[in-house]
Amino acid sequence: MSADGTHNVLHWVLWWDRSSPGELLTNLVANTFCYGVASTVVATYNSECAPVKVRGLIGTVLQLSVEVGIFLAQLIAVFLVDVPNWRILFGLSGVISIVQLAWLPFMPESPKFLIAHGMRAEATRALQFLRPNHDISIEFQAMLDLASSVSSPADNGHIAGCVGKISFVPDSSSECDKLPSKPKTSVASISSVLGTNTPTSVGVVAIFKGQTPDTIWHLLFCTMFLMGFQQWTGTKGIVFYSTGILAKMFSLSPTQLRETPNTAQWVTIGLAATGIIAVLSSMSLIDRLGRRRLLLISTSGLAMACLLIVIGCACNVPVLAVLAMFAFKLTYGLGMAPIPWLTASEMLPYYTLGTLSGIASALNWTMIFVVGLLFPALSRLLGDYLFVPFAALNFCAFVVILLMVPETKNRHISDILFHHGKHIHIVFSMARKRRSEGQV
């Protein structure tokens, strides 16, 4: 994160002082690379530092910051579109990065990372910093026990149950004795939580050859599917081309489009504000309704919103199309925006996390590039029916999530691995069984 912040400051200086196409393109590519790294690191760091009970809330902060950034950029850009004022907009990111660099030295390293690398004293200090004025002895001891794979599988199952219940509990040294245990969990899956008795990291080749202590094919599929599909919801069409789409809906002339701000731009800013509201709603719901349920609500809502956009455009009802775009942004922010970034850290064992979260992030950014490249061609080809393919894709995603993606709310990675550490399988019947038994 420090390296990324430093680059953003340099990025600001270069945008301010350079204007040749080659220099600007080089700077843009480097900035995109660093942003991809930062998005992966921040998502992993947030999940590792958060208590299990509020892991979803903390994890969605990343998407909230993205939505706030999009809103502010679009709002400020309305008044800074002229040459050379556009450089000021890019320069603002440098100011934010300077603040970030000043704060980073006071942030602790992830306790899980420190324990995995044998730095227990540093891990204690880091965890206490993250849990001020609270007794961390139970949580930290559970981390150590998990890391050392103590006693039998039955004991490890009890430890996993305790970890799942830990949440800012001061002065409760006997709390673990009162908590119900989870199903018995294998030693391999327990030790893989923090990676101490398994490799600290596993390379790409070993993972895809299946040479890991745990079978992770199903969880790997779920992670890659959600990260790859996120961009095929149609959201980048809304973000990148909303002004053009709205200008067509409102039949704005070239002269009207040159006027700043215009109706299409204000609606685009409203869409960005809706994204903030949606993610805030997700933050309040994700640890109550769960990830799986929000994903199902999101993909079904996206499919219906896409169809309504098509109907509004094809039937020349701009109001319907615009309202459908707002519904699209709202349902996207509820689930498909924040949750895919949580899946790697919630489903994958620690020794694969660095490698696979990087691959998942690269896949996501590749899809952004592909969709952004194809969207103008699809718009010319399909016209008013542009969002029909995205409606179909969102419906397919709904089916895949319903059948394949497990719930991770309030569940420790050892529990996830115990139930889903196997080859690709159907989880729908397992989810129904867990609900009937009153399990999370």
Please give the residue range of the domain that contains residue 187: 111-198
CATH number of domain containing 226:
1.20.1250.20
Choosing from 166, 198, 230, the residue where a domain stops is 198
Say whether both 158 and 44 belong to one domain.
no
Say whether both 102 and 115 belong to one domain.
no
Token pair, residue 359, equals 């691959």
Distances (CA, A) of 421 to 46, 163, 291, 403, 406: 24, 19, 19, 16, 11
Q: What is the pLDDT of residue 10?
A: 58
Residue 381 located in a structural domain:
yes
Say whether both 164 and 223 belong to one domain.
no
Q: What is the DSSP letter of 332?
A: I
Say whether both 228 and 248 belong to one domain.
yes
Residue 405 located in a structural domain:
yes
- The whole-angstrom separation of Cα 173 and Cα 88 is 54
Q: What is the DSSP letter of 165?
A: H
User: How many other CB atoms are there within 10 angstroms of residue 205's CB atom?
Assistant: 8
Residue 211 located in a structural domain:
no
State whether residue 90 is helix, strand or coil. Answer: helix
**Under-70 pLDDT residues of the chain:** 1-25, 27-28, 31, 83, 145-201, 256-257, 429-440
Say whether both 378 and 413 belong to one domain.
yes
- Closest by CA position to 219, among listed 201, 200, 197, 192: 192
Say whether both 409 and 265 belong to one domain.
yes
Say whether both 92 and 115 belong to one domain.
no
Q: What is the pLDDT of residue 24?
A: 67
Q: What is the pLDDT of residue 103?
A: 85
Choosing from 132, 163, 198, the residue where a domain stops is 198
Q: What is the pLDDT of residue 185?
A: 40
Q: Are 161 and 185 in contact (CB under 8 A)?
A: no
Query: Within 13 Å, how many C-alpha atoms sit on residue 336's CB side?
Result: 31
Say whether both 345 and 388 belong to one domain.
yes
- The whole-angstrom separation of Cα 337 and Cα 279 is 8
Say whether both 285 and 153 belong to one domain.
no
Token pair, residue 428, equals 């729908």
Residue 133 located in a structural domain:
yes
Q: What is the pLDDT of residue 296?
A: 96
Domain count across the chain: 2
- The whole-angstrom separation of Cα 167 and Cα 136 is 10
Token pair, residue 173, equals 């040294």
Q: Are 227 and 363 in contact (CB under 8 A)?
A: yes
Classify each residue of 265-295 as buried b or exposed e, where b means 16 or more C-beta atoms within 10 Å of its C-beta.
bebbbbbbbbbbebbeebbebbbebbbbbbb
CA 345 to chain CA centroid, nearest Å: 10
Say whether both 252 and 221 belong to one domain.
yes
Q: What is the DSSP letter of 232?
A: G
Residue 209 located in a structural domain:
no
CA 165 to chain CA centroid, nearest Å: 24
- The whole-angstrom separation of Cα 322 and Cα 9 is 38
Residue 314 located in a structural domain:
yes
- The whole-angstrom separation of Cα 390 and Cα 307 is 9
- The whole-angstrom separation of Cα 307 and Cα 323 is 12
- The whole-angstrom separation of Cα 40 and Cα 47 is 11
Residue 205 located in a structural domain:
no
Residue 241 located in a structural domain:
yes
Q: Please state the pTM of the whole predicted model.
A: 0.78
